[in-house]
Amino acid sequence: MIRFENVSKVYTRGARPALEDVSVDVQRGEFVFLVGASGSGKSTFLSLVLREHRPTRGGIYVAGRDVARLSAWRVPKLRRELGVVFQDFRLLQNKTVYENVAFALKVIGKPRTAVRDTVPEILDMVGLTGKEKRLPTELSGGEQQRAAIARAIVNRPQILLADEPTGNLDPTTSLGIMRLLDRINSTGTTVVMATHDDEIVNEMRRRVVELSDGVVVRDEASGVYGERESILPDLGRSAVLDTPPGNVRRLTAIPRPGQQRARAFTRGEA
Ligand SMILES: Nc1ncnc2c1ncn2[C@@H]1O[C@H](COP(=O)(O)OP(=O)(O)OP(=O)(O)O)[C@@H](O)[C@H]1O
């Protein structure tokens, strides 16, 4: 679904590469955490998938397209296959929750009837039924992120990219957002999430790709956040080192792969 073949990205001639000889293959339906210290290249990886930038060297294939060579007029179509969520939500501040989500459908020319049918369905899925008329300023951080996720998935993208989606949220709210991303993933959406949240990574035990100075230094099928001094947040360090991986208290409610995931969906939990 996403393939990087020996990808390097140099933003400024003579500067250190933001990514160097990166080869990563993400299969359809996978959930992948991108981890690494600040400046290690996580956002650059995501921006190359989105074709916000082109690689300096190497090949990038996203949903069957050769992204590095894609002509500019085809980029919007690529982006329709991709949903994106960010740490700072990026909702339109003068539009309600409903309008923010509806807008994503209107800009791609969906008929009014499709908008009327789809938006309430998606808002229900993310747990925002009853809050349709609120402006972003009238929502909690977690609710804003749910609205942003609703907007990102309303077109049913094949891939969801998330750049530190829990970075502005407290642990309990982060848990709810991770459950939601997990549910979205279990419907078949491929999820790639850049994060500094060690507890979430340790609990979910999904594939972990670690970058260090633009280089992939680890790619594990069912990994933990990692114990490299450089990437551990100060406050999280003792928790990770003192607690066996997979036994982090606050996230135990997230179902393990293959366990209860379908049930969580049918119950409509967020
Ligand atoms: N648009 C840009 N122009 C020039 N250099 C950039 C640009 N974007 C990123 N960089 C540089 O590329 C390197 C990788 O940055 P990137 O933002 O991808 O790291 P990151 O792992 O996402 O960091 P963080 O965790 O802080 O978000 C850094 O050295 C950064 O300064």
Greatest Cα pair distance in the chain: 54
Query: Which pLDDT score, from 0 to 100, does residue 270 have?
Result: 36
Query: Which pLDDT score, from 0 to 100, does residue 12 have?
Result: 94
Nearest to 91 by CA among 81, 80, 82, 104: 104
Q: Strand 19-26's sheet: what is its strand order? A: 19-26, 2-9, 57-62, 65-66
Query: Which pLDDT score, from 0 to 100, does residue 233 have?
Result: 58
Q: Rounded to an integer, what distance in angstroms lies between the CA atom of residue 20 and that of residue 6?
A: 8
Output the CA 214–ligand 1 centroid distance in Å.
9
Q: Rounded to an integer, what distance in angstroms lies between the CA atom of residue 141 and that of residue 128?
A: 13
Segment 144-175, tens digit of pLDDT: 999 999 999 999 999 999 999 999 999 999 99
Residue type, 94: N
Beta carbons of 4 and 68 less than 8 angstroms apart = no
14 close to ligand 1 (CB < 6 Angstrom): no
- SS3 letters across 170-239: CHHHHHHHHHHHHHHHHCCCEEEEECCCHHHHHHHCCEEEEEECCEEEEEECCCCCCCCCCCCCHHHHHH
Query: Which pLDDT score, from 0 to 100, does residue 227 have?
Result: 72
Q: Which residues of the chain are modeled with pLDDT < 50?
A: 235-270
- Lookup: tokens for 193: 């999430």
All structural domains of the chain with their residue ranges: 2-220
Query: Which pLDDT score, from 0 to 100, does residue 229 have?
Result: 60
Say whether the ipTM exceeds 0.85.
yes
Taking CA atoms only, the protein residue closest to ligand 1 atom 26 is 38
Q: From the CA of 211, give the closest atom in ligand 1.
A: 21
Nearest to 19 by CA among 5, 32, 30: 5
The model carries a pTM of 0.86
Buried b (16+ CB within 10 A) or exposed e, 8-30: bbbeeeeeebbbbebebebeeeb
Nearest to 167 by CA among 6, 41, 35: 35
11 close to ligand 1 (CB < 6 Angstrom): yes
> Domain 2-220 is in which class?
alpha beta
